[in-house]
Amino acid sequence: MKEFELKYGCNPNQKPARIFMENGADLPIEILSGRPGYINFLDAFNSWQLVKEIKQATGKVAATSFKHVSPTSAAIGRKLSEKLKKACFVDDIEGLDDSPLACAYARARGTDRMSSFGDWIALSDECDLTTAKIIAREVSDGVIAPSYAPDALELLKTKRKGAYNIVKIDPSYVPQERERKQVFGITFEQGRNNFKIDRDLLKNIVTKNKDLPDDKAEDMIIALITLKYTQSNSVCFAVDGQAIGVGAGQQSRIHCTRLAAQKADLWHLRQHEKVLGLVFADGVGRPDKNNIIDLYLSDVDSEDVLGENVWRQYFAVKPEPFTRAEKDAYLASIKGVTLASDAFFPFFDNIEKAAKSGVSYVCEPGGSIRDDLVIEAADRHNMVMAFTGMRLFHH
What's the CA gap between 194 and 329, in Å, rounded?
43
**Residues 235, 103 share a domain:** no
Question: Binning pLDDT at 50, 70 and 90, where does residue 321 land?
Answer: confident
**Residues 84, 51 share a domain:** yes
| pLDDT of 71 strictly over 80 | yes
The per-residue pLDDT for 170 is 98
The per-residue pLDDT for 311 is 80
Bridge partner residues of 245 (DSSP): 237
**Residues 255, 147 share a domain:** no
The per-residue pLDDT for 149 is 98
Question: Binning pLDDT at 50, 70 and 90, where does residue 318 land?
Answer: confident
The per-residue pLDDT for 74 is 98
What residues contact residue 195 under an 8 Å CB cut-off, 6+ apart? 228, 390, 392
Is residue 394 annotated as a catalytic residue, yes or no?
A: no
Range of the domain at 72: 3-174
Strand 359-364 and strand 242-248: the pairing is unpaired
**Residues 126, 87 share a domain:** yes
Does any domain span residue 218? yes
Average pLDDT over residues 66-88: 97
Is residue 356 annotated as a catalytic residue, yes or no?
A: no
Strand 242-248 and strand 165-169: the pairing is unpaired
**Residues 50, 126 share a domain:** yes
Does any domain span residue 186? no
Number of other CB atoms surrounding residue 281 within 10 Å? 13
| pLDDT of 212 strictly over 70 | yes
| Segment 155-201, tens digit of pLDDT | 999 999 999 999 999 999 999 999 999 999 999 999 999 999 999 99
| pLDDT of 307 strictly over 90 | no
| pLDDT of 303 strictly over 70 | no
Does any domain span residue 51? yes
| Segment 378-389, tens digit of pLDDT | 999 999 999 999
| pLDDT of 250 strictly over 80 | yes
**Residues 163, 236 share a domain:** no
Q: Which of 338, 287, 340 is nearest to 314 (CA)?
A: 287
| pLDDT of 41 strictly over 80 | yes
**Residues 256, 286 share a domain:** no
What CATH number does the domain containing 119 carry?
3.40.140.20
Q: What are phi and psi of 336, to 5 degrees?
A: 85, 10
| pLDDT of 129 strictly over 70 | yes
Question: Binning pLDDT at 50, 70 and 90, where does residue 298 land?
Answer: confident
Question: Binning pLDDT at 50, 70 and 90, where does residue 310 land?
Answer: confident
Which listed residue (233, 268, 290, 327) is catalytic?
233
The per-residue pLDDT for 302 is 63
Does any domain span residue 392? no
Strand 70-76 and strand 234-239: the pairing is unpaired
The per-residue pLDDT for 232 is 95
Give the chain's domain count. Answer: 3
| pLDDT of 301 strictly over 90 | no
| pLDDT of 305 strictly over 70 | no
Average pLDDT over residues 226-243: 97
Cα–Cα separations (whole angstroms), residue 355 to 37, 224, 237, 261: 41, 19, 12, 10
Which listed residue (52, 60, 67, 263) is catalytic?
67
**Residues 295, 164 share a domain:** no
Residue 125 near residue 61, CB atoms below 8 Å: yes
Is residue 255 annotated as a catalytic residue, yes or no?
A: no
Is residue 216 annotated as a catalytic residue, yes or no?
A: no
**Residues 108, 31 share a domain:** yes
